[in-house]
Structure 1
Amino acid sequence: MNKLCQWIFNLRFWIWDCFNGLQRGVPNLQFQKVSVTCCRRLFVALLASMVFCWGLHPGVALAQTQTISPASSIQPYLDRVIKELTEFRLDNGLKFIVLERHKAPVVSFLTYADVGGVDEPDGKTGVAHFLEHLAFKGTTRIGTEDYKTEKPLLERLDKLDAQIQAAKADGKKDEVARLEAEFKQVESQAGKLVKQNELGRIVEQAGGVGLNATTSSEATRYFYSFPANKLELWMSLESERFLDPVIRREFYKERDVILEERRMRVENSPIGAMLEKFIDTAYKVHPYRRPVIGYDKDIRNLTPEDVQKFYDAYYVPNNLAIAIVGDVNPAEVKKLAQTYFGRYQAKVKATAKIPTEPQQKQTREVTLQLPAQPLYFEGYHRPSVTHPDNAVYEIIGSLLSDGRTSRLYKSLVDKQRLALNAQGFSGFPGDKYANLMLFYAVTAPGRTVDELAIALDQEIQKLKTEPVSAVELERVKTQARADLLRSLTSNSGMAQQLLEYEVKTGSWRNLFKELDEIAAVTPGDIQRVAKATFTPENRTIGKLLSKQE
């Protein structure tokens, strides 16, 4: 879970929020630098912007607050966190985790909705991501000049849109033209009543930074940071945002924005198109196979009623969790939380019926020929983040893929010069459910994807037949430990990790247990898991071949 959190998403944000910030008018985020080479950063950033279509686990870091030595004992740090952490649940079921850090007068906030792409009904893909966009449009009081005047116009737009779709289905071109003209007129009237990005302006004027959100296969996360004296302002804004959202405001404009996102990330991107085909090949029934951004047809057919129904089902108190990390007083947080979030009515959360992916029994393969640099993908099914062998999979991923010292890079890039880059990670497209270990490599000039496949297989076979040396294993463990601890040095990074483990594993304490589990991995564990996982029948292959235009 943590490898993706620490660099894939930081790089994804770097690209994606440039686009989202322009669309929403949200202040630019500040991101923690990632210590990777320029070449690796460029390629992985490009790939990461594509894998966002399926959503992964974000790991943002805004402000460094302390440094933790990977060689030091974790126990004193864990003891300090336990001492400084307060958790409580409101009567309506909403969970809060509060961690005091008084080194700087800043606070990071993260609202975690335990709902994502996997929870969407068939034919409604993209609704979770759509709702995330609309959460920035305001409420009946924020984002509008006069909601009483705006509301009937928004309702009229819904009726016109339904009439337009019906007229198109009946082939009534003249009727469609008339209705579309009226739609534009009403939309213009409604638009004049909108206070564009008022939420963002309030946050920015109060000294807030990093206002944004992400949707993944499994969760939707809303986050920003404030000066410590703006705690009550955050309570007011964030509670109002989900207590009284206006789903219809600029709904149709935002639908066009999302369709353009999809065109950029999939239709007009060879890597995006390849990933969509690859994941659809690797999964047959589990909703991981669907892109979080949604399919084009589904996005076009989504209505405000669809989004509202999804919101009503999943944005309920006991399906939300909030982390607050920084210069705060837990007693004050609890008092304000009861005042503002205690207004939420307790409801039974919806539970999506997630089908279990059947065991794969033979190699699957998909090939696309597009005008692009040839690229090779190879994925293997693995269990979820709660499985006892999760740390072993993380170590295997590090051995093969963690930077220039990894086996894949040294073999495929440095020694054999088959690839310009060779990487991979565990936990694609998510890790809440059984997922994939994904490896990928971009061909060097004059080389082929078939040569990459052979070389990759040789490195994988070594894990099964040759015990990892004590020196190499210790190096990888130290790096994995450092990566995890580094993600906790910022308030926002800590908030993110605490909630990931709290929601997905049942307790934030499992975040620190993972360090012990990493330390306990043996060469025998690696061989055992490699033999069970890296088999031909458990493999999915993807080949992106170059097509001359």
Structure 2
Amino acid sequence: MSQVNPFIQLCQLVTTQLRLPIGRGSKTLSLIMAFLGAAILGWGMLPPAALARTETPTPTSASIQPYLDGVIQRITEFRLDNGIKFIVLKRDKAPVVSFVTYADVGGADEPNGQTGVAHFLEHLAFKGTTRIGTKDYQAEKPLLDQLDQLFKQIQAAKKAGKQAEVAQLQAEFSKIEAEAASLVKQNELGQIVEQSGGVGLNATTSADATVYFYSFPANKLELWMSLESERFLDPVFREFHKEKDVILEERRLRTDNSPIGKMIEVFLDTAFQVHPYRRPVIGYDEDIRNLTRENVQQFFETYYAPSQLTMAVVGDVDPAKVKELAQVYFGRYKARPAAPTVKAVEPPQKQTREVTLELPSQPWYLEGYHRPGVNHPDDVIYGIIGRLLSDGRTSRLYKSLVEQKQVALSAQGLSGFPGDKHPNLMLFYALSAPGRTVDEVATALRSEIERLKTEPVSAQELDRVKTQSRAELLRSLDSNMGMARSLVEYEVKTGDWRNLFQELEQIAAVTPADIQRVAKATFTAENRTIGRLLTKKD
């Protein structure tokens, strides 16, 4: 296997854990990138100046509103009889269209003992159907069934300690797997998309959702309808065991061989006692190893019901044509019972929790506080607090911990960790400066948090942060893909895509008193979880 760039490793680690999509997640995207930059700085790969953000001005409210009104007027929506929701925005500036399929299922929905199954399914969704990705499905299917049976037999033999039988079964498994592989057309879905002018074919799995997306020339609307509807109407989860090895390698890179990955995993497990946000999206090693193709099939049948799917189509399209084709292709899906929802409720934290790891890493300090989910009235206020403390070089944490006190090389934070559909965390983290301790970082960080509770934010500082927040939200809507992902996310998480545009008004309404009220309620010792990543001593 070729060597992986450490920067890519860290990007994968953080996005696996956080998976904050465009839209609400875009508010923290710059923070995440600063986190990545800081970690790379810790590896001696970037100078401190590389952590700077470029802040661009935002249009005035007067110039924004006509644009937003025009966008809203061009959006149409419809729901098929089987429950699939479509949101369509006509944008004809260029003959291209972006497509997003949003499945309302993520790591938090996984059964106990099957962590990682949502992410596993995302990988397998690119493997094709009974017609795509195979040379002869009738010959391939019995081989896949044989592999499933052999895997169960191997697991049973291992559990019984029958090593000779395990070796024999594994030899048979390898033989059948090679036969099945000879019938596979590798990456045929991707090739069809690329040869037809498609770009950006990809997907992400978060704690809250699984999102599939790519863009096509405008004249390929029907091809997308055909490919995407077949993909989830007639999937074949081929190359299952080969993909399992790929995912296990991802886990090794992102978590097992990464000090930061290990810290994030134990930190979440400490901060959450009941809610499935405590579990890693990529899954635990043992769970991944024990997953079967049957587990994935059952998860798919349960959580990929039509009512769990929302589609966004943004670009040079005729909304009437989109509806017509959607009924032809996606109307083939049969309605199924609604998927179960997460029932676990995290109880209020009653005392400070702490976890410390000693690993071959530069020292990091993490501090998290429980906060409500995305639909709470104070959600926007939490976003503003996050920006006040940690958005770029003008933020309070950077100016205090990095520039003035020089206890940290980087100090950042984010709101909505590891997801925001359910009550979650506001997280702060800092990379200690050489010769300074994590306790010094903790003291400096705590002083800035306390300031929010005791001193009203000035009108000038609040206005600057509001401007940044509005600009970030608007920049995420510049592209067809950014708009598509934002529309579906707000539709599913908040119940109405219109909340995407109403958030600008909510940002403008935030007052210094709001910030103090939320800070006093949230930043308490009993609501605090502390993580210390210390350098392992020889």
2:204 aligned with 1:195: no
Relative distance call for 1:496 and 1:398 in structure 2 (3 A) is: same
Relative distance call for 1:39 and 1:498 in structure 2 (3 A) is: closer
Q: Whole-Å Cα distance in 2 between the matches of residues 38 and 171 of structure 1?
A: 47
After superposition, residues 455-470 of structure 1 pair within 5 angstroms as 455-470=444-459
Q: Whole-Å Cα distance in 2 between the matches of residues 139 and 210 of structure 1?
A: 20
Q: In the TM superposition, what whole-angstrom CA distance separates every residue of 1:196-220 from its partner, at most 9, and x where no partner exists?
A: 0000000000010000000000100
Amino acid at match of 2:104: D
Q: In the TM superposition, what whole-angstrom CA distance separates every residue of 1:114-140 from its partner, at most 9, and x where no partner exists?
A: 001111111111110000000000000
Q: Whole-Å Cα distance in 2 between the matches of residues 149 and 46 of structure 1?
A: 53
Q: Whole-Å Cα distance in 2 between the matches of residues 276 and 399 of structure 1?
A: 27
Q: Whole-Å Cα distance in 2 between the matches of residues 359 and 157 of structure 1?
A: 46
Identity %: 70
Q: CA offset at residue 190 of structure 1? A: 0.4
Q: Whole-Å Cα distance in 1 between the matches of residues 58 and 434 of structure 2?
A: 42
Equivalent position of 1:519 in the other structure:
508
Q: CA offset at residue 41 of structure 1? A: 5.3
Q: Whole-Å Cα distance in 2 between the matches of residues 76 and 98 of structure 1?
A: 19
2:281 aligned with 1:286: no
Equivalent position of 1:42 in the other structure:
37
2:172 aligned with 1:182: yes
2:372 aligned with 1:383: yes
- Secondary structure (helix, strand or coil) at the match of 1:495 reads helix
Relative distance call for 1:233 and 1:37 in structure 2 (3 A) is: closer
Q: CA offset at residue 176 of structure 1? A: 0.5
After superposition, residues 293-332 of structure 1 pair within 5 angstroms as 293-332=282-321
Q: Whole-Å Cα distance in 1 between the matches of residues 207 and 504 of structure 2?
A: 25
Relative distance call for 1:500 and 1:46 in structure 2 (3 A) is: farther
2:196 aligned with 1:206: yes
Contact 1:140 1:244 in 2 (8 A): yes
2:139 aligned with 1:149: yes
Q: Whole-Å Cα distance in 1 between the matches of residues 70 and 124 of structure 2?
A: 39
Amino acid at match of 2:152: A
- Secondary structure (helix, strand or coil) at the match of 1:346 reads coil
Q: CA offset at residue 317 of structure 1? A: 0.8
Amino acid at match of 1:43: A
Equivalent position of 1:59 in the other structure:
none
After superposition, residues 224-373 of structure 1 pair within 5 angstroms as 224-247=214-237, 249-373=238-362
Q: CA offset at residue 76 of structure 1? A: 1.4
Q: CA offset at residue 81 of structure 1? A: 1.6
Q: Whole-Å Cα distance in 2 between the matches of residues 366 and 510 of structure 1?
A: 38
Amino acid at match of 2:517: R
Q: Whole-Å Cα distance in 2 between the matches of residues 277 and 538 of structure 1?
A: 17
Amino acid at match of 2:261: G
Q: In the TM superposition, what whole-angstrom CA distance separates every residue of 1:289-309 from its partner, at most 9, and x where no partner exists?
A: 000111111111110110000
Contact 2:265 2:280 in 1 (8 A): yes
Q: CA offset at residue 351 of structure 1? A: 1.1
Instruction: Compare 509-518 and 350-359 and name the one that shifted more.
Output: 350-359
Q: Whole-Å Cα distance in 1 between the matches of residues 493 and 63 of structure 2?
A: 26
2:440 aligned with 1:451: yes
Q: In the TM superposition, what whole-angstrom CA distance separates every residue of 1:367-389 from its partner, at most 9, and x where no partner exists?
A: 00001010000000000111111
Contact 1:106 1:225 in 2 (8 A): yes
Equivalent position of 1:534 in the other structure:
523
Unaligned runs of 5+ in 2: 1-6, 17-25, 43-56
Contact 2:58 2:468 in 1 (8 A): no
Q: Whole-Å Cα distance in 2 between the matches of residues 155 and 251 of structure 1?
A: 11
Q: CA offset at residue 363 of structure 1? A: 0.3
Amino acid at match of 1:82: I
Amino acid at match of 2:313: I
Relative distance call for 1:125 and 1:46 in structure 2 (3 A) is: farther
Contact 2:364 2:534 in 1 (8 A): yes
**Among 137, 161, 164, the residue aligned to 2:154:** 164
Q: Whole-Å Cα distance in 2 between the matches of residues 502 and 133 of structure 1?
A: 25
- Secondary structure (helix, strand or coil) at the match of 1:380 reads strand
Q: CA offset at residue 45 of structure 1? A: 8.0
Relative distance call for 1:509 and 1:252 in structure 2 (3 A) is: same
Amino acid at match of 2:201: L
Relative distance call for 1:512 and 1:13 in structure 2 (3 A) is: farther
Amino acid at match of 1:233: L
Q: Whole-Å Cα distance in 2 between the matches of residues 410 and 496 of structure 1?
A: 33
Amino acid at match of 1:403: G
2:69 aligned with 1:79: yes
TM-score (norm 1): 0.89
Equivalent position of 1:396 in the other structure:
385
- Secondary structure (helix, strand or coil) at the match of 1:223 reads strand
Relative distance call for 1:478 and 1:101 in structure 2 (3 A) is: same
**Among 502, 509, 517, the residue aligned to 2:498:** 509
TM-score (norm 2): 0.91
Contact 2:38 2:409 in 1 (8 A): no
Relative distance call for 1:13 and 1:394 in structure 2 (3 A) is: farther
Amino acid at match of 1:170: A
Q: Whole-Å Cα distance in 2 between the matches of residues 353 and 367 of structure 1?
A: 30
Q: In the TM superposition, what whole-angstrom CA distance separates every residue of 1:425-455 from its partner, at most 9, and x where no partner exists?
A: 1000000010100000000100000000000
Relative distance call for 1:402 and 1:124 in structure 2 (3 A) is: same
Equivalent position of 1:121 in the other structure:
111
Q: Whole-Å Cα distance in 2 between the matches of residues 125 and 346 of structure 1?
A: 26
Contact 1:270 1:371 in 2 (8 A): yes
Amino acid at match of 1:140: T
**Among 523, 532, 538, the residue aligned to 1:543:** 532
